[in-house]
């Protein structure tokens, strides 16, 4: 099975690199600068699960794509989706499966409109990783999960075939029969931690130590959970218990990548994580005052950044 990994940054570089390390047929779709970096230094992964340097990983650039792939693993930022689609569209054939690992849910509609419902699976990953100054992929905590599946639920022959390959990467890759529910739960947590840490400019422990901090964090979580419920995906008890423990851990240094992006004056996924949550809340007539404040904050940052 030939897999095209769109991007070789923190997410694509890690999961694609682990699959390549396991001997799978992996090609990275990258821009010229990243292609030169990988040709020179290789794909370097530094991780609690073991370091590896993959010399001369297979790469291709958009104008060089001439063949169709069995699977496209899409790992770009949500705000780069349109450009990413243009770059990999020629690699999509009638039997290609697209597995997006983007945040939020809005991207599913965009991909379906262009490639058709059958081509697009659901997908999500959980990992704290970044590219350091040496352009190495650095995994910051042991957490690593990648799941995918048929959006209508259940299993299929293709999901079973892809599952076998994902498991070979030893990063918790697995097929899920409830992938859309999984994606909603991830979105609820991500919107909560990203919204709280980005708007308050601090780690979870810093917010909890402030007056009203605990109520604010859990209030954001409750608003997002209510939106999920209204859309037919009630967060399951195990998810609520696990995420509440993370969001109320005294002294926690946990932040979201969005907060780190703000500190680095980088682009953020304000519309995809917060804006779309508000849009779905409005459609379902769910009140989300905390999320509205967060969104205003995030859009103010974006205006400052581009202005």
pLDDT digits (tens, 9 = 90+) for 225-245: 999 999 999 999 999 999 999
CB 15 within 8 A of CB 169: yes
pLDDT of residue 306: 87
Per-residue pLDDT of the chain (307 residues; tens, 9 = 90+): 999 999 999 999 999 999 999 999 999 999 999 999 999 999 999 999 999 999 999 999 999 999 999 999 999 989 999 999 999 999 999 999 999 999 999 999 999 999 999 999 999 999 989 999 999 999 999 999 999 999 999 999 999 999 999 999 999 999 999 999 999 999 999 999 999 999 999 999 999 999 999 999 999 999 999 999 999 999 999 999 999 999 999 999 999 999 999 999 999 999 999 999 999 999 999 999 999 999 999 999 999 998 8
Measured CA distances, 101 to 108, 173, 196, 250, 280 (Å): 10, 12, 22, 30, 20
Domain with CATH 1.10.1040.10 in the chain: 182-306
Instruction: Give alpha helix (H) positions in 116-256.
Output: 157-168, 179-200, 204-208, 213-230, 237-247
| Residue found under tokens 């004056």 | 265
| Residue found under tokens 């073991």 | 50
Q: Does the CA dihedral 145-151-152-155 come out positive or negative?
A: negative
Question: Who's near 268: CB < 8 A, 6+ residues apart?
Answer: 79, 198, 258, 261, 262, 298, 301, 302
Q: Is 298 helix (H, G, I), strand (E, B) or coil?
A: helix
33, 46, 55, 186: the catalytic one is 186
Rounded CA gap, 230 and 46, in Å? 41
Is residue 186 part of the annotated active site? The answer reads yes
pLDDT of residue 307: 80
Give the number of other CB atoms < 10 A from CB of residue 250: 9
Q: Nearest 5 degrees, angle CA 192-CA 49-CA 79?
A: 40
Domain with CATH 3.40.50.720 in the chain: 2-177
| Residue found under tokens 């970044």 | 130
Strand partners, 173: 146
Which top CATH class is 182-306? Answer: mainly alpha
pTM attached to this predicted model: 0.93
Rounded CA gap, 292 and 277, in Å? 10
Please return the burial class of 1, using the count of CB atoms within 10 Å of its CB with bins 0-12, 13-18 and 19+: middle
Rounded CA gap, 24 and 123, in Å? 20
Question: Who's near 119: CB < 8 A, 6+ residues apart?
Answer: 92, 96, 97, 98, 111, 112
CATH number of 2-177: 3.40.50.720
């Amino acid at each position: 099975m030939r897999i095209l990994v769109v991007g070789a940054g923190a997410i694509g570089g890690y999961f694609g690199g682990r699959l390549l390390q396991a001997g799978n047929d992996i090609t990275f779709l990258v821009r010229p600068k990243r292609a030169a970096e990988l040709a020179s230094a290789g794909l370097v992964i530094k991780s609690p699960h073991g370091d590896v340097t993959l010399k001369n990983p297979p790469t291709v650039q958009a104008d060089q794509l001439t063949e169709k792939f069995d699977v496209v693993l899409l790992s770009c930022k949500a705000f780069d989706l349109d450009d990413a689609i243009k770059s990999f569209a020629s690699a999509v054939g009638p039997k290609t499966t697209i597995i997006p690992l983007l945040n939020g849910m809005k991207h599913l509609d965009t991909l379906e409109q262009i490639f058709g419902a059958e081509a697009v699976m659901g997908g999500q990953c959980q990992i704290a990783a970044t590219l350091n100054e040496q352009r190495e992929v650095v995994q910051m905590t042991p957490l690593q999960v990648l799941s995918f599946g048929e959006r209508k639920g259940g299993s299929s022959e293709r999901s079973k075939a892809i599952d076998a390959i994902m498991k070979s990467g030893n990063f918790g890759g697995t097929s899920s029969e409830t992938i859309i529910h999984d994606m909603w739960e991830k979105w609820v947590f991500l919107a909560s931690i990203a919204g709280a840490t980005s708007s308050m400019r601090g780690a979870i422990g810093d917010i909890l130590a402030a007056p009203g901090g605990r109520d604010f964090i859990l209030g954001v979580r409750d608003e997002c959970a209510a939106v999920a419920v209204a859309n037919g995906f009630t967060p399951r008890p195990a998810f609520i218990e696990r995420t509440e423990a993370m969001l109320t851990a005294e002294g926690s240094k946990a932040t979201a990548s969005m907060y780190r992006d703000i500190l680095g004056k980088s682009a953020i996924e304000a519309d995809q994580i917060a804006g779309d949550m508000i849009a779905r809340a409005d459609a379902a007539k769910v009140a989300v005052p905390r999320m509205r404040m967060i969104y205003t904050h995030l859009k103010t940052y974006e205006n400052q950044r581009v202005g």
